[in-house]
A and B are shown apart, each in its own frame.
Chain A
Amino acid sequence: MIKVEHLAKRYAEAYAVNDISFEVKEGEILGLLGPNGAGKTTTMRILTCYMPATSGTATVAGFDVFKNSVDVRKNIGYLPENVPLYPEMRVKEYLSFRAKLKRVPHRERKTKIADAVDRCRIVDVQNQIIGTLSKGYRQRVGLADALVHDPKILILDEPTIGLDPNQIRQVRQLIKELGEKHTILLSTHILPEVEMLCGRVIIINKGKIVAMDTPANLESQLKADNHIALEVRGNGEKIKNALSGIKGVRRVTWRDKGEIANFAVESEKGTDVREEIFSSVVKNNGIIREMTLAPITLEEVFHQITTQEQEVTA
């Protein structure tokens, strides 16, 4: 439904998006994950034809974003970051204005608006002036606008930002429901959101894709590599060498703090070396003060991937 090839966007000083390619399949919910300034909004603005790419191509619903802009826009519902709305209008008025702009036929307009209002749970505020709405309700009005014309594709830029925990849960539930009928591209920097909602994640950092997989795969890639944290009293150098010798251990890093040393042991996928570690430490006259299994969460994957990248570029 969305196909992006070698897309790049250059602002005056630097590239905000630099040579990214990905695809969103029909019915998929794809999460665009990245820290501030990663280029998520820029990517979405290109896909929604708000701004052109410097180079590369993108097709949305089979139409080129550059050549068939209007056709692309007919097929998408877009929730821009910060949800700009006309403050002087009433919610229902606004949705009716948007539905007309998006060419919802006159006889369907009423039901489509009522449906969007209902799904986004803004029935109570539908006659309120937008300027007086709270942030969370504005967000939902934006969401109602995005889906009022029942588009094939939804592009949502940080749909849950600024909401309270209850509202976050409701909006996620809503997105999940929408995912059954629509293809969704959403951006966020909240990891649990991606884990909950998305079939696939793209992690982008500084305008480049640094990882692309299912949330589960991203996690298990590293989760199966057991990471064990160890605190030991004893001869750090000696124990380190002993640990490195254990079968299945890939990497040992350690930090000496005088009598006590901290180790991080990384072992191969599916191996459990905790017992071997115990006996080998004891053999070398070490006393184990702490041993914990540290399975990597998506959070850490994200942190690792994005900070690694920074170290490389720094």
Chain B
Amino acid sequence: MRCTGTIFQREISAYFLSPVAYVVIAVFMIFSGYFFSVMLGITQETTLRYSLAYTQFILSILTPVITMRLFAEENKTGTIEPLMTAPVTDFVVVFGKFLAAWALYNVMIVPTAFYIIFLAWVGNPDYGAIIASYIGLVLMGGLFISIGLLVSAVTKNQIVAAVIGIVALLILLVIGLASAGNEGWFYSSVRYIGTYDHWETFTKGVVDTRDVIYYVSFTALLLFVVVRIVESRRWR
């Protein structure tokens, strides 16, 4: 486990030594700022709820860009070989990379705190709802990153990893939206699998354990699968 920190450290410094981190953060700031100002103009409500609804869409596109390099790059350049022949377990490698990407994701959403300051300045926002939204954002990030990590682990090509990751996340988003309003076990289970409903609850200011469990267990399951994939190269 001690090596998790070592992997984490290297991945973080790799992020900030390449332009990817800065580009992703800049793009996120531009779009989230745009949605914030537009939604504020339309609704005249001092809340992040409406702009955050759109934020999930941007995050579905940007998170795979964060995760695309994690394994694909190492698979391509061959650095996976010294990495996997060092005395670290596959879990440690996967978890270290996961944490690094998650940390970058969280750094990316930090500047949105500016909008809260702005809201506090112009009115009286509901801080409980804002805190709940951020808990949701962070948990959703974990899930998105584990999906991106999985895609990255099965390819050598970063672009392919990003595209498949984006498609997968958009599908997860869309299936929830598309089945909204429909009744029956089928639609409700599709909605349960989709990310949108869970995320919406948080933006309303409700931290429901069911949603927390959804994100945490889905993330854990995916990480388990990634560890298996990485491990599978050692299987007979």
Same complex origin of A and B: yes
Residues of A bordering B, CB below 8 Å = 45, 48-54, 66, 69-71, 73-74, 76, 78, 80, 82, 84-89, 93, 97-98, 100-103, 145
- Structural contact, B81 and A80, CB atoms closer than 8 A: yes
For A80, list chain B residues within 8 Å (CB).
Answer: 78, 81-82, 85
A70: chain B residues within 8 A (beta carbon): 87-89
Residues of chain A with a CB closer than 8 A to B7's CB = 101
> How long is the Cα–Cα vector from A123 to B78 in the complex, in angstroms?
25
**Residues in B whose Cβ lies below 8 Å from that of A49:** 84-85, 234
Smallest beta-carbon distance B22→chain A, Å: 14
Using Cβ atoms and an 8 Å threshold, which residues of chain B touch A53? 236
* B3 close to A101 (CB less than 8 A): yes
List chain B residues, Cβ under 8 A from A69.
234
Whether A50 pairs with B85 at a CB distance below 8 angstroms is yes
Shortest CB distance A245–B (Å): 59
B74–chain A nearest beta-carbon distance, Å = 8
The residue from B13, B87, B236 contacting A74, defined by CB atoms under 8 A apart: B87
In the bound complex, CA of A102 to CA of B89 (Å): 11
A101 surroundings in chain B (CB, below 8 A): 3, 6-7, 83, 86-88
Q: Which of B3, B81, B233 has the most CB of A within 10 A?
A: B81
CB neighbours (8 Å) of A74 from chain B are: 87
A84 with B84: in contact, given A66-B236, A97-B6 (CB under 8 Å)? no
Minimum distance in angstroms from A152 CB to a CB of chain B: 13
Which A residues touch B234, using CB under 8 A?
Answer: 49, 51-52, 66, 69
**Which 10 pairs across A and B sit closest by C-beta, in order of nearness?**
A84-B78, A73-B87, A74-B87, A100-B6, A84-B79, A101-B86, A48-B85, A88-B17, A80-B81, A52-B236
A59, B88: Cα distance in complex, Å: 19
Of B10, B18, B87, B236, which one neighbours A54 at CB under 8 angstroms? B236
Closest Cβ neighbor of B17 among chain A residues? A88
Known: A51-B234, A89-B13. 4 other contacts (CB 8 A): A73-B85, A88-B14, A88-B17, A101-B88
Closest to A73 in B: B87
Q: In the complex, which residue of chain A has the Cβ closest to the Cβ of B83?
A: A101
A78: B residues at CB distance < 8 A = 82, 85
Tell me, in angstroms, the Cα distance from A56 to B13 when the chains sit together: 41
Q: How far is the CA of A70 from the CA of B92 in the complex (A)?
A: 12
CB proximity of A275 to chain B, nearest CB, Å: 58
Chain B nearest CB, measured from A130 CB (Å): 11
Contact-residue size bin, chain B (C-beta under 8 Å from the other chain): 20 to 34
Q: Please tell me if B185 contacts chain A, counting CB pairs below 8 Å.
A: no
CA distance A52 to B236 in the complex (A): 6
CB neighbours of B13 from chain A (8 A): 89, 93
Q: In chain B between 1 and 41, which residues have their CB closer than 8 angstroms to a CB of chain A?
A: 2-3, 6-7, 9-10, 13-14, 17-18
- How would you classify the secondary structure of chain A's contact residues: helix, strand, loop or mixed? loop
- Please state if A76 and B85 are interface contacts (CB–CB under 8 Å): yes
Residues of A within 8 Å of B84, CB to CB, are 49-50
Closest to A98 in B: B86
Other-chain contact of A84, B6, B77, B87 (Cβ < 8 Å):
B77
Note all chain A residues with C-beta closer than 8 A to B87.
70-71, 73-74, 101-103
Q: In whole angstroms, what is the CA distance A98 to B234 when docked? A: 21
Expressed in whole angstroms, the Cα–Cα distance for A102 and B3 within the complex equals 9
Flag whether B121 is at the interface (Cβ < 8 A): no
User: In the docked arrangement, what's the CA distance between A74 and B85, Å?
Assistant: 9
- B235 contacts partner chain A, Cβ-Cβ < 8 Å: yes
Min CB distance B86 to A, Å, is 4
CA distance A87 to B14 in the complex (A): 10
A76, B83: Cα distance in complex, Å: 13
Contact call B86/A102, Cβ cutoff below 8 A? yes
Minimum CB–CB distance from A162 to chain B (whole Å) comes to: 15
Q: How many angstroms from the CA of A98 to the CA of B86 in the assembled complex?
A: 8
Bound CA–CA A82/B78 (angstroms): 9
Contact status A84-B81, CB under 8 Å: yes
CA distance A88 to B83 in the complex (A): 16
| A52 touching B235, Cβ below 8 Å | yes
Contact sample, A vs B, 10 pairs, CB 8 Å cutoff: A45-B81, A50-B233, A52-B236, A84-B82, A89-B14, A101-B3, A101-B83, A101-B87, A103-B2, A103-B87
Cα of A74 to Cα of B18 in the assembled complex, Å: 31
Nearest-CB residue, chain B, relative to A101? B86
CA distance A270 to B87 in the complex (A): 52
Once the chains are docked, how many angstroms separate the CA of A17 from the CA of B92?
31
Q: Is the CB of A86 within 8 A of B14?
A: yes
CA distance A240 to B84 in the complex (A): 61
Q: Which of B14, B79, B82, B233 has the most chain A CB within a 10 Å cutoff?
A: B82
State the CA gap A50–B84 with chains docked (Å). Answer: 6
